[in-house]
Structure 1
Amino acid sequence: MAYVPVPKDLSKVKTKVAFNLTKRQIICFAAALAIGLPLFFLLKGSIGTSVAAFVMIVVMLPCFLLAMYEKHGQPLETVIKNVIQTKFIRPKERPYQTDNFYALIEKQRKLEKEVSAIVKGNHKTEKPRRG
């Protein structure tokens, strides 16, 4: 009997369309082919086959990276966007700030104490200082 491994986390399973490739991969490979192949044939006669092949590879490489690269389940453009945001857009120092619940309770207690003192008439009014 043949056993087929079944992944435990089905959210990481990608739907394959054709040739065991996802729709994204097929689109990116087709774009790379549409850009690289005509470029190769245009450059082959003027600069030589080897250099034209190298230029074709360099031009097609971003499409291949968009199709295949994935980090932590995120595609390349998401990873690049996150890197740009952390390096250039967001502030460098982001201090950790918390909402201190006990400080809020203490402040509320002082305010209630002050209000009750005003209501009872025990509150001393301070004159604003000048200068």
Structure 2
Amino acid sequence: MAAFISVPRDLSKVKTKVFMNLTKRQLLCFGAGALIGVPLFFVLKSTGNISFAAMGMIVVMMPMFFLAMYEKDGQPLEVVAKHFYDSRFKRPKVRPYKTNNYYAAVMRQYQAEKEVERIVCNREKDSGSRSQAVRKEKEGA
């Protein structure tokens, strides 16, 4: 009988295990959870209700467990939570998409040049009609 061992095809997803098949991140988070949860258990146990003490310890240790174990798309929980916070609260909900249309810019420039040309032509007509009126006055006088 042959024993088969599954070998992952993508080696970038393989994580280095440090102790008892746990990564450094998992060991650190579980250690921090135990450092907070176990003393809390003994403090709450002094009230007399062991079920209450156990539930309190579980509630306090659960966030550390999620920090150690949860991963979505290769990103740990704090990165996922930061992306969620940024998209939900930090950035604006409506992001209007504005483009810099080259054709519209050329048309605006064309309209501006046309307007300047119209103003210049009107001034020349006005100055031309004034000079003609001055000539007529000189000839009539």
Give the TM-score, by structure 1 length. Answer: 0.74
Change (3 A) 1:126 1:13: farther
Q: Residues 91-126 of structure 1: CA distance to partner in whole angstroms, max 9, x if unpaired?
A: 1012344555x638x739x67xx7xxxxxxxx8373
Root-mean-square deviation over aligned CA pairs:
2.4
Unmatched runs of 5 consecutive residues or more in structure 1: 115-122
Larger relative contact order (C-alpha < 8 A, sep ≥ 6)?
Answer: 1
Alignment partner for residue 119 of structure 2, among 118, 123, 126?
126
Aligned residues: 114
Residue of structure 1 equivalent to 2:106: 107
Matched letter for residue 25 of structure 2: R
Change (3 A) 1:25 1:126: same
Change (3 A) 1:48 1:94: same
Structure 1 window deviating more from structure 2 (32-41 vs 6-15): it is 6-15
Residue of structure 2 equivalent to 1:40: 41
Structure number with higher helix proportion: 2
Shift of 1:39: 0.7
Q: Residues 17-66 of structure 1: CA distance to partner in whole angstroms, max 9, x if unpaired?
A: 11111100000000011100011011101141110000000000000000
Change (3 A) 1:90 1:50: same
Q: Distance in 2 between matches of 1:3 and 1:103?
A: 65
Percent pairwise identity = 55
Quick check: 1:86 aligned with 2:87?
Answer: yes
Q: Distance in 2 between matches of 1:20 and 1:96?
A: 49
Matched letter for residue 19 of structure 1: M
SS in 2 for 1:19: coil
Residue of structure 2 equivalent to 1:120: none
Q: Distance in 1 between matches of 2:20 and 2:50?
A: 30
Unmatched runs of 5 consecutive residues or more in structure 2: 121-141
Matched letter for residue 37 of structure 2: G
Q: Distance in 1 between matches of 2:19 and 2:3?
A: 23
Give the TM-score, by structure 2 length. Answer: 0.69
